[in-house]
């Protein structure tokens, strides 16, 4: 393991070789309340040639002023033309994300959204959002709607176990509605599953990208797949699910089917659908449906720990 | 003639010590041929697996697959790897002449099989940066990744580390900073992989965000493991880069109307599609 402690910096350290700017020059400049990072760049040219020093400059600026320097250099996504036809209507991008939740056996599901990453927190190009979370039980009944605000530079944290009456399994959909045209930055929700003695994180996925067919690898050990597939049906009509398991190296092919009601979610335990799968090779699981659904692969380990990942968004 | 490349960006898969388990990955020639620019390709596709352990090269294996009018002799195959320490596997696919219409394709998934425990499914990383990452480095002067759901809870035995992989020939200096303002620097030598516990960056038992900045692209996996035992893995995840998406887009009447109708239906609980 290579973990070097932070190297002690000295005032004589050359930070920008292109323009001969030392650490002491930067600190002295920024300690003057009349000066700023902008005036430092104007006075010295630091960071404007090869840019190799920008990370060090950012660290020094952050140490002295508590702010990040890099935001000044952003070229501004907002200066680019909006995607889409030139003559058209401007509307928010559909950022509704969905994922399963688990609220049983001492397992908590915590949703977190940071708006935006620390490096971009000073940016004028990030914006606040109204959010709405629908919490839906696996049987398709909406149990709760959580509304609120996610301001720029803030973190949204929702622990679903604190919602009264929530069933043990289900799914949620998070709608983020931006206040104004801005750059999304790193605002991508993440889910923290917290078990009695383990934790896992995974990403919800854009509900608008639900699809009818995707594949993912699965493994077998001791004849057990120990894997479930989480399927979310955001449509009112029921979905017919077809799961096919293929051997990657040796011939093996089996197919199983299931039905999922409208607005319902389920965890399909592959060991109940595919028994006595031979060890010793990798398998590809293909999940197809007649209605676009969202899919996550859920590995349940022998010690009870859960690991989740989403199916690929693209074929 | 359409632009064509002879290679696809290599995939990077993490490797953990043998006692932790083994890595299993599949390689689909059939899928790779989706990205061909020649409609009538007959030739050879080679897949090279380079294993790096403890900072050094630990073996190379090559599989050649003949393709006859874009039908490969083997559609797909899998490989299993284990190691005597921390490392990574670089999987590179090349053709015997320019073939692919792009170099950066969909990420591959891998399995980490823990003896007696089961498998972990995870997505690999690409060695070469996608366009948004290149733009991020150009615009901000550095590479950045974020994880918003870090959790260390020593009392419950929950550990959280980042697994940093430098598949390049120059060292990468990374700074990890939490939203509590705590920071540490890690230098990852060329071709090295290392585990960086996050205990010192976050408060015990409280979810937090950790941002990584670096002077170059670096591959990072979020590892959940038994506290103090990084080899006892329970989950692998990726971090997020600054994607630079805009919050709004411009569309014609039909798509704009579809957005607002879909939103209204969700609000009313009539449809969640």
Query: pLDDT tens digits, residue range A235-286?
Result: 999 999 999 999 999 999 999 999 999 999 999 999 999 998 998 899 999 9
Domain encompassing residue A239: 210-310
- Are residues A47 and A17 located together in one domain of the fold? yes
Model pLDDT, residue A296: 96
In a domain, A95, yes or no: yes
Task: Report the residue of B16, B121, B263 to disrupt the A interface, i.e. the one with the largest count of A CBs within 10 Å.
Answer: B121
Question: What gap in Å lies between CA B82 and CA B75, rounded to an integer?
Answer: 24
Model pLDDT, residue B1: 53
- Are residues A191 and A237 located together in one domain of the fold? no
Question: What gap in Å lies between CA A155 and CA A152, rounded to an integer?
Answer: 8
pLDDT greater than 50 at residue A73: no
- Are residues A202 and A215 located together in one domain of the fold? no
Q: Does B110 touch chain A (CB under 8 A)?
A: yes
- Are residues A233 and A294 located together in one domain of the fold? yes
In a domain, A284, yes or no: yes
pLDDT greater than 80 at residue A84: no
Residues 196-235 of B with CB under 8 A from A: 196, 207, 209, 211, 213-215, 222, 224, 234-235
pLDDT greater than 80 at residue A38: no
Question: What gap in Å lies between CA B100 and CA B114, rounded to an integer?
Answer: 35
In a domain, A71, yes or no: no
Question: Chain A residues with CB inside 8 Å of B189's CB?
Answer: 2
pLDDT greater than 70 at residue A11: no
In a domain, A179, yes or no: yes
Residues (pLDDT < 70) of chain B are 1-2, 107, 139-141
Q: Does B180 touch chain A (CB under 8 A)?
A: no
Q: Give the minimum alpha-carbon distance from B88 to chain A in angstroms, rounded to a whole number.
A: 14
Q: How many independent structural domains does chain A possess?
A: 3
Say whether B260 and A91 touch across the interface (CB within 8 A). yes
Question: What gap in Å lies between CA A49 and CA A56, rounded to an integer?
Answer: 15
User: For residue range A195-228, what is the model confidence (pLDDT) as tens digits?
Assistant: 999 999 999 999 988 999 999 999 998 889 999 9
Contact of B139 with A119, CB cutoff 8 Å: no
Q: How confident is the model at residue A71 (pLDDT cuts 50, 70, 90)?
A: very low
- Are residues A178 and A268 located together in one domain of the fold? no
**Who wins on pLDDT, B51 or A116?**
B51
**Average pLDDT of span A7-27:** 78
Question: Chain A residues with CB inside 8 Å of B124's CB?
Answer: none
Model pLDDT, residue B226: 96
In a domain, A116, yes or no: yes
**Residue in this structure with the two tokens 């033309």, named with its chain if needed:** A81
Question: Chain B residues with CB inside 8 Å of A237's CB?
Answer: none
Token output for A146: 């959580």
Pick from B184, B176, B182, B194: nearest CA to B88: B194
**pTM as predicted:** 0.86
Omega cis (within 30) before A116: yes
Question: What gap in Å lies between CA B188 and CA A89, rounded to an integer?
Answer: 48
**Who wins on pLDDT, A62 or A260?**
A260
């Amino acid at each position: 393991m290579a973990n070097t402690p932070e190297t002690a910096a000295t005032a004589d350290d050359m930070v920008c070789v292109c323009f001969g700017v030392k650490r002491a020059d930067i600190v002295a400049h920024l300690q003057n309340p009349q000066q700023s990072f902008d005036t430092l760049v104007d006075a010295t040219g630091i960071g404007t040639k090869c840019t190799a020093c920008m990370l060090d400059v950012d660290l020094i600026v952050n140490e002295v002023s508590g702010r990040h320097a890099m935001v000044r250099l952003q070229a501004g996504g907002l200066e680019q033309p909006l995607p889409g036809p030139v003559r058209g209507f401007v509307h928010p991008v559909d950022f509704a994300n969905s994922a399963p939740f688990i609220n049983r056996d001492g397992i908590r599901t915590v949703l977190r959204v940071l708006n935006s990453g620390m490096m971009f927190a000073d940016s004028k190009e990030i914006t606040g959002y109204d959010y709405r979370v629908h919490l839906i039980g696996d049987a398709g009944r909406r149990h709760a709607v959580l509304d609120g605000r996610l301001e720029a530079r803030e973190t949204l944290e929702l622990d679903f176990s604190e919602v009264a009456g929530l069933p043990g399994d289900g799914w949620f959909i998070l709608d983020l509605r931006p206040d104004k045209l801005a750059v999304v930055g790193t605002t991508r929700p993440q889910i923290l599953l917290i078990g009695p003695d383990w934790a896992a994180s995974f990403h919800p996925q854009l509900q608008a990208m639900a699809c009818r067919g995707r594949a993912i690898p699965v493994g077998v050990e001791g004849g057990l797949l120990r894997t479930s597939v989480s399927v979310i049906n955001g449509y009112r009509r029921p979905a017919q699910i077809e799961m096919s398991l293929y051997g990657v190296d040796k011939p093996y092919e089996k197919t199983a089917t299931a039905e999922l009601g409208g607005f319902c979610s389920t965890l399909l335990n592959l060991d109940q659908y595919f028994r006595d799968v031979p060890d010793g090779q990798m398998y590809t699981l293909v999940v197809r449906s007649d209605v676009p659904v969202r899919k996550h692969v859920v590995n349940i380990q022998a010690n009870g720990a859960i690991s989740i990942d989403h199916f690929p968004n693209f074929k | 003639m359409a632009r064509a490349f002879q290679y696809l960006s290599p995939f990077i898969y993490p490797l953990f010590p043998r006692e932790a388990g083994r890595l299993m990955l599949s390689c689909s020639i059939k899928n790779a041929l989706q990205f061909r620019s020649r409609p009538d390709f007959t030739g050879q596709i080679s897949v090279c697996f380079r294993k790096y352990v403890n900072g050094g090269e630990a073996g190379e294996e090559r599989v050649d697959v003949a393709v006859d009018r874009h039908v490969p002799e083997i559609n797909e195959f899998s490989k299993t790897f284990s190691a005597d320490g921390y490392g990574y596997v670089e999987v590179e696919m090349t053709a015997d002449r320019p073939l692919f219409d792009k170099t950066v394709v969909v990420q591959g998934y891998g399995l980490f099989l823990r003896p007696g425990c089961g498998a972990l499914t995870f997505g690999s990383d690409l060695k070469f940066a996608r366009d948004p990452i290149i733009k991020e480095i150009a615009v901000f002067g550095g590479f950045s990744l974020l994880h918003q759901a870090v959790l260390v809870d020593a009392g419950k035995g929950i550990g959280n580390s980042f697994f940093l992989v430098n598949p390049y020939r120059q060292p990468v200096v990374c700074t990890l900073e939490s939203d509590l303002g705590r920071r540490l620097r890690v230098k990852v030598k060329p071709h090295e992989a290392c585990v960086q516990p996050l205990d010192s960056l976050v408060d015990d038992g409280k979810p937090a965000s950790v941002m990584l900045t670096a002077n170059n692209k670096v591959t990072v996996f979020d590892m959940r493991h038994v506290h103090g035992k990084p080899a006892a893995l329970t989950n692998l995840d990726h971090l997020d880069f600054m994607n630079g998406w805009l919050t709004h887009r411009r569309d014609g009447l039909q798509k704009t109307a579809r957005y607002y109708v879909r939103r209204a239906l969700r609000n009313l609980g009539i449809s969640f599609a």
